[in-house]
Amino acid sequence: MVFVKGVNFDVAKEAIKQPLIFKRSLLSIAGPVGEVKLTKDCVRVTCLSPRQKTALLNTADWNGKFISVTEPWSRRVPAAARPASSTRLVHGIIFGVSTELTDADVAAKVNADSARRLTKWTDRQSIPTQNIVIGFSGELPQYV
């Protein structure tokens, strides 16, 4: 599954206004796909193969307009596949982390189970901040 979002335009409105052109563009890039769902300001596309997903993720142009294609922020595991006693993560925020460090670097350094950098939107662009949300399966440490 990927999300297609227009840069400086609403791709969902474009799909509503011109559904045939939208469908043809999608077919030319990825071929036949699964479910296509219009959300508030983006389009959720369910890919049928990893090759489709890669083709869509590498796409930046949509009929002469720029788009951003991303994977979901969180991947939901079906309830049947989840262990019965799954542990919830306890989250905390680290401030002032250099943007040169990746989320994986920070998670490894502080022995966290997860890490995700917060972003802010300025002039319709996502800009990484120096704040990272970290998750631990046990209690939060006093210092990191």
Note the pLDDT tens digit of each residue in 98-129.
Answer: 989 888 898 898 888 899 999 998 888 889 99
Give the pLDDT mean for 37-53. Answer: 85
CATH of 2-70, one of 3.40.50.10190, 3.30.390.30, 3.20.20.70, 3.30.70.330: 3.30.70.330
Note the pLDDT tens digit of each residue in 1-14.
Answer: 888 888 888 888 88
| Residues of the chain above pLDDT 70, percent | 90
Which are the contacts of 2, defined by CB distance < 8 A and separation ≥ 6? Answer: 44, 45, 47, 53, 56, 57, 69, 70, 71
Please state the pTM of the whole predicted model. Answer: 0.48
- The phi-psi region of residue 33 (left if phi > 0; otherwise alpha if psi is between -120 and 50; otherwise beta) is beta
Residue 116 φ/ψ, nearest 5 degrees: -145, 125
- Domain positions in the chain are 2-70, 90-136
Above 60 in pLDDT, residue 81? no
Above 80 in pLDDT, residue 73? no
Whether 9 contacts 67, CB under 8 Å: no
Tell me how far CA of residue 101 lies from CA of 72, 118, 119, 123, in angstroms. Answer: 22, 13, 14, 24
